[in-house]
Amino acid sequence: MERFVDVTPGIRLWAEQIGPEIAADAVAPDPVLLIMGANASGLAWPDALVSRLAEQHPVIRYDHRDTGRSAWAFDRHPYSVADLAEDAIAVLDAFDVERAHVVGMSMGGILVQLLLLDHPDRLLTATLLCTSALDAGLAGAAPDLPGPDPALLRLWQEMDDPRDAEREIDWRVEHWRLLNGTGTPFDPAEFRALEERIIEHTGWYDSPSAHAHADPGGLDRGAELATVDVPTLVIEAPEDPVNPPPHSGHLARAIGGARMVRVPGMGHALNATVVEPVAAAILSHAARGGEHVVSSADERV
């Protein structure tokens, strides 16, 4: 089921719900809300992962502002990164969801941390993957934690460069190759098909880059994470070239009572080889209510 969500005048978000119907019945399965990373459509959550989660839960994914079929309006309506967290609440409201298991990847993980601080009553559990703590800044800006791979930094310099359709897809596939890292196989055909589908879904091939220009103010709230009491799982991607170890460990320690699991070989991409372990970790965490275990040592999936 697809719908559009009006969040502010001039800003409309595309969203869809897959799997069991959302119901207020006490025995109905609780929904899962998926929040993707910067400049990424909700379709970047692989269908195989969504389908696996939807076997047990209603799953909601959506396009951030300036991605996919949501409003591309940054030039007319500039916003902060923190505003994108409030968009997630608007999506839950549109689907009449009081509380959900919320999963955030990359920048989506930053947004989930803001939700943990500002809207804990809307989260049943939180799962964070391929992300950094609020006190580390976007893309690991903290001086005592490693930053992104220099090859990625060089490629990001080209984000706003004009490209025709074929060159744009080539650029995006190369971006995924670097994000994937070397710990798991990279299949360029898999990611080319993904980006072709996202472009078809969007209706044009312009490179989404607004989030790189959004105001990052209001994210320096790492000290508040110790107060979090929502059951939280951190999934570590040991080959992540954006937020490499020890980012996940730092995040897990910063959040009160968080657990951490590691998906061996995983980078900053949800390729076919990591879908099942990531889905299993999310489902297990949701099922157990994310029991609080302070974890300096990590588990493997």
The CA-atom distances, in angstroms, between 85 and each of 100, 175, 259 are: 14, 25, 23
Count the alpha carbons within 13 Å of 277 in the hemisphere toward its beta carbon: 19
Catalytic residue selected from 149, 268, 285, 298: 268
Catalytic residue selected from 41, 70, 106, 248: 106
Contact of 248 with 234, CB cutoff 8 Å:
yes
Query: What is the rounded CA–CA span in Å between residue 18 and residue 13?
Result: 17
268 noted as active-site residue: yes
51 noted as active-site residue: no
Contact of 14 with 41, CB cutoff 8 Å:
no
106 noted as active-site residue: yes
Residue 143: count of CB within 10 angstroms of its CB: 8
Catalytic residue selected from 63, 135, 149, 240: 240
Query: What is the rounded CA–CA span in Å between residue 29 and residue 254?
Result: 30
Query: What is the rounded CA–CA span in Å between residue 130 and residue 81?
Result: 17
Query: Any idea what the Cα angle at residue 226 is, between residues 225 and 228, rounded to 5°?
Result: 70
Of 270, 275, 268, residue with least CA distance to 178: 268
The CA-atom distances, in angstroms, between 126 and each of 107, 119, 241, 286, 292 are: 14, 12, 23, 9, 12
Residues involved in catalysis: 106, 240, 268
